[in-house]
A and B are shown apart, each in its own frame.
Chain A
Amino acid sequence: MVNTKKVIVYSTPTCVYCHAAKEFFKENNVAFDDIDVSGDPQKAQEMVEKSGQMGVPVIDIDNTIVVGFNKPKLKELLGI
């Protein structure tokens, strides 16, 4: 089944869990937009506003915000 939900990953290049989350999406054939907030203060601010905190990764699945690489939660939201 092709996932049709819009997935955004807010990440930094040096964050381990960001890499883990992106790997997880790739393994499960989930398309996602990767936003590197380290080089983009505006997007960093958007991430902070969406999640109310400053830790990465922040994952936005159809406007539901998940903070950190919470695999069970992501699976539930994606129905995989």
Chain B
Amino acid sequence: MYDLIIVGGSAAATAAGIYAARRKLNFKIVTTEFGGEVATSGDIENWPGIVHTNGIVLASDFRKHLKSYNVEMEDGATITKVEKMPDGSFTLQVNKAGNGTTSYQSRAVLITTGVHPRLLGIHGEKEFFHKGVTYCTTCDGPLFQDKMVATIGGGNSALESALMLNDIAKKVYVINRNPAFQGEQVLMDKVQEAKRIEIVYNANTTKIIGDQFVTGLTYDNGDGKEHQIDVQGVFVHIGMVPNSGFLDIVEKDRLGQIIVDGLCQTNISGLFAAGDVTNVPYKQIAIAAGQGVCAALAIIDYLNKQKA
């Protein structure tokens, strides 16, 4: 029986892991993949104390920090179910990629599973995934040198995608279904000034078309006509969805975010959540890390009270 199992492997899990290790809890981190959305973030210039880093380096630094405390990390293992037992402990069902399934027992559980990109849900999106359609500009952008591409979305992540592609592609359309962007002014200014970017406002992407690979997309801007543009790449940045689907015992909001209080407690005693998967606003690496610390300390209190 573990004191704690941390599910997930990025900023919140790392921060919680460091604190749990310093208090010498009997715990482990179980994650489908280490690094999460931090790893695909590209340049990072808002992590206090580090003027400039990038997602790959920061994720690798997180791992090193945990290793320095000899934290047990199980990578490539996905928790498929969390159940509360009559004695107050938890049973977690684990699917180890390629190595069957098992289960773990723990007195407390911390969920830090983060988010994944939202899909458009339109014709052609699934068929052309990795055949022109991608959700990670930092990963796949470099393959579109001198090609025609489109970024879909209206927030910071879409703006960042368009700016990266501006340096790589021949032309970048930004398809925004709203009449304006919602993001940092500095990014909006850069996009407006960028030579290769053309913004299409009030446009709903309706279809991704192609043969073996993407050749174009269609959009609807309310004028009753179907508009088509020829592109070889479609970069989808329309927001994130919490990775909370595997949890059926906990209270969530309408977006699927796990509802937590100021101590990162859920409605189930002993089950805590931290980071982007929760209903705490502003999805930021520093916020996730801070919540991870808060959760770890609250969990230590919870375990101590149980023992008493």
Interface positions of A (Cβ within 8 A of B): 12-17, 19, 37-39, 41, 44, 48, 52-56, 67, 71-72, 75
- Alpha-carbon separation in the docked complex, A75 to B55 (Å): 27
Question: Is A16 touching B130 in the complex (CB atoms < 8 A)?
Answer: no
Among A16, A38, A44, A67, the residue within 8 A (CB) of B35 is A16
Query: B139 on the interface (CB 8 Å rule)?
Result: yes
**Does B143 contact A12, Cβ atoms closer than 8 Å?**
yes
In angstroms, Cα B134 to Cα A17, docked, is 14
Contacting residues, chain A, for B17 (C-beta < 8 A)? none
A37, A48, A56: most-surrounded residue (chain B CB, <10 A): A56
Instruction: Give the residue of B60, B142, B212 whose beta carbon is less than 8 angstroms from that of A14.
Output: B142
Q: For the complex, what is the distance from the CA of A38 to the CA of B35, rounded to whole Å?
A: 22
B130's contact among A19, A38, A39, A53, by CB below 8 Å, is which? A53
- Which chain A residue shows the least CB distance to B138? A14
Grouping DSSP codes into helix (H, G, I), strand (E, B) and loop, the A interface class, with mixed when no group exceeds half, is: helix
- Chain B residues with CB below 8 A from A13, complex form: 142
Q: Is there a chain A Cβ closer than 8 Å to B181's Cβ?
A: no
B139-174 vs A: 1/0 string, CB under 8 Å?
111110110000000000000000000000000000
**Would you call A41 and B213 a contact (CB within 8 A)?**
no
B139 touches A12 (CB 8 A): yes
| Contact residues in A for B139 (Cβ distance below 8 Å) | 12, 14-17, 55-56
List 13 A-B pairs, Cβ < 8 Å: A12-B141, A14-B56, A14-B139, A14-B141, A14-B142, A15-B138, A16-B55, A17-B139, A41-B145, A52-B212, A53-B130, A56-B139, A56-B140
Query: Shortest beta-carbon distance, A21 to chain B, in Å?
Result: 12
**Cα distance A2–B76 when bound, in Å?**
26
Asked whether A38 lies within 8 Å of B145 as measured between CB atoms, the reply is yes
B40: chain A residues at CB < 8 Å are 16
